Chains A and B, each alone.
Chain A
Amino acid sequence: MIHTITRRAFLKGTVSTACSIAATSSVVKAAEALKNGEPIATLIDITKCVGCEECVHACKNANTDKYPKPEKPFPQMYPSGVKTEDWSDKTDIIERLTPYNWLYIQSAAVDMDGEEIELNIPRRCMHCTNPPCVKLCPWGSAIQLDNGISRIDSDTCLGGAKCQTVCPWLIPQRQTGVGLYLDILPSFAGNGVMYKCDRCYNKIAQGEIPACIEACPENVQTIGSRDQILKQAHELAASMNGYIYGEKENGGTNTFYVSPVPFEKLNEVIEKGKGKPHLAKVANSMETGDKLAMAMLFAPIAGVVGAVARFYSMSKKDNQ
């Protein structure tokens, strides 16, 4: 039999403490953290998610104004093999990430204690603490706010999709035919604008909580200051003997999934592919850069040592 784990089902089980955090108190705490502009994070308790997709629709409604409005026909691309990406006729697709859908529900049928259960996993940008999409954007169009939100400025993004390539989960999605590139050399540089979850930064700036969190009837997500939320994630994980995803991944993110089943197992059964991110372990993308930067500090020393060594060997030769 396939069960769907709901919050109520879980309350009846051994892990009732998992749900001890009342929705109202968490919202109050969240509002404080959001107002202070301190780093914020979300906890996603996947045992509670029933896969109703209320959050997905809420995200769409709240962010419609930010969605691309491409001009057609698209400019001819050179070289001619360059592919354009058009989602403007497929705006109602909700089973993957697209420029018009920044959140979707992944499902995983897994075996737990001999019983097959189905878990639902809301997926979107993780809001990494040192986001490669932001740090490596060559135009400074991907930005990170003080509160840890990463977002892509649709006014300056050229749609080269580097942020997607360097993102360990390939989150940002491209729409051709919009943005700044149209005003420069549309056939030769750029290819549209990249879109992804911006954690409803505009709502947060006004002290409101993100649309997906507000809409969820099961209180799957909790938002608040990163320290607080991380502590909560550990308590929740401990209470269900479970696992956390997002604390260490890519050197740390601001999204903590908590699951009673190891994420490696979930990763095996979820559908993965374009616009459908994995749940595998992720090493810190920026770590090599960090290490090379440290090594770089020795470059001037090495140079000077080399010059001094040569100077002495030359003056020795001169003296002979």
Chain B
Amino acid sequence: MTLHDKIIRYFYMTTFAFLTLTGFGQMPIFKRYRIADIPGLGWLAEFYVTHAMHYIFASLLIGLCSYLLAENLLNARQELKITITGYAKAVMILGLIITGGLMIFKNLSGTPYSPLWSLCLIFLIYRYVWFFLFSA
């Protein structure tokens, strides 16, 4: 593994960890389970803080994925081995980004409520299922 790949890997894991953490922060659980009482973790119960952080880490994830995608395309002729799970992972991440993007659109001031809403519920289910699959 080159230094570049190591940095990418570290960056990806950190981004993902914070996305997951702040994603859970969208639910009212950190206060109830007193995790926010642990010194230094009080921000986990601040919905507007975790909300902004979730957006920021989502941006980082999108930036990183675009970087990796562009890099793969540019280096297309060099040997590349993407495993089946690699592809599956890529599709799952794309799914997260698309559903997340739609939820962000829904949150924008001026987005009327209606039809997106029932879809959002499905996104949520997707997210929760995703979690249980990949946290295992």
Q: Residue B135 at the A interface, CB < 8 A? A: no
Q: Do most interface residues of chain A lie in helix, strand or loop, or is the interface mixed?
A: helix
Min CB–CB distance A11 → chain B (angstroms): 39
Q: Is the CB of A160 within 8 A of B66?
A: no
Complex CA gap A286/B27 in Å reads 17
> Which residues in A have their C-beta under 8 angstroms from that of B18?
none
Q: Is the CB of B71 within 8 A of A311?
A: yes
Q: Which of B34, B51, B110 counts the most A-chain CB atoms under 10 A from its CB?
A: B51
Task: Indicate whether A161 sits within 8 Å of B113 (C-beta atoms), given known contacts A136-B47, A300-B62.
Answer: no
Min CB–CB distance A166 → chain B (angstroms): 5
Q: Do most interface residues of chain B lie in helix, strand or loop, or is the interface mixed?
A: helix
Q: Is the CB of A140 within 8 A of B117?
A: yes
Q: Is the CB of A166 within 8 A of B48?
A: yes
> Which residues in A have their C-beta under 8 angstroms from that of B60?
299
Looking at the complex, which one of A79, A146, A296 makes contact with B62 (CB distance below 8 Å)?
Answer: A296
Task: Indicate whether A293 sits within 8 Å of B55 (C-beta atoms), given known contacts A135-B106, A140-B124.
Answer: yes
Q: Residue A145 at the B interface, CB < 8 A? A: yes
Q: Is the CB of A293 within 8 A of B104?
A: yes
Q: Residue A306 at the B interface, CB < 8 A? A: yes
> Which residues in B have their C-beta under 8 angstroms from that of A138?
26-28, 124
The A284-317 residues at the B interface (CB cut-off 8 A) are 284-290, 292-293, 295-296, 299-304, 306-308, 310-311
Complex CA gap A191/B28 in Å reads 11
Q: Residue B86 at the A interface, CB < 8 A? A: no
> Which residues in B have their C-beta under 8 angstroms from that of A79?
32-34
> Which residues in B have their C-beta under 8 angstroms from that of A145?
113
Q: Is the CB of A292 within 8 A of B47?
A: no
The A67-84 residues at the B interface (CB cut-off 8 A) are 79, 81-82
Complex CA gap A302/B118 in Å reads 33
Q: Is the CB of A136 within 8 A of B26?
A: yes
Q: Residue A165 at the B interface, CB < 8 A? A: yes
Task: Indicate whether A303 sits within 8 Å of B109 (C-beta atoms), given known contacts A140-B117, A165-B47, A292-B59.
Answer: no
Residue in chain B with minimal CB distance to A129: B109
Task: Indicate whether A302 sits within 8 Å of B47 (C-beta atoms), given known contacts A130-B110, A146-B112.
Answer: no
Looking at the complex, which one of B51, B67, B104, B110 makes contact with A136 (CB distance below 8 Å)?
Answer: B51
> Which residues in A have their C-beta under 8 angstroms from that of B75?
311
> Which residues in A have their C-beta under 8 angstroms from that of B74?
307-308, 311
Q: Is the CB of B28 within 8 A of A299?
A: no
Q: Residue B58 at the A interface, CB < 8 A? A: yes
Q: Is the CB of B109 within 8 A of A292?
A: no
> Which residues in B have their C-beta under 8 angstroms from that of A166?
47-48
Task: Indicate whether A160 sits within 8 Å of B113 (C-beta atoms), given known contacts A288-B48, A302-B63.
Answer: no
> Which residues in B have their C-beta under 8 angstroms from that of A260?
none
Task: Indicate whether A292 sits within 8 Å of B56 (C-beta atoms), given known contacts A165-B47, A287-B109, A306-B67.
Answer: yes
Q: Residue A134 at the B interface, CB < 8 A? A: yes
> Which residues in A have their C-beta under 8 angstroms from that of B105?
293
Q: Residue A234 at the B interface, CB < 8 A? A: no
Min CB–CB distance A15 → chain B (angstroms): 34
The 3 closest A-B pairs by CB, nearest first: A303-B66, A307-B70, A160-B28
Apart from A139-B124, A307-B71, what are 13 other A-B pairs with CB-CB below 8 Å?
A79-B34, A135-B106, A136-B47, A136-B107, A138-B26, A138-B28, A162-B28, A166-B47, A288-B48, A293-B108, A299-B63, A307-B70, A307-B74
Residues of B within 8 A of A (CB): 4, 26-29, 32-34, 47-48, 51-52, 55-56, 58-60, 62-71, 74-75, 104-110, 112-114, 117-118, 120-121, 124
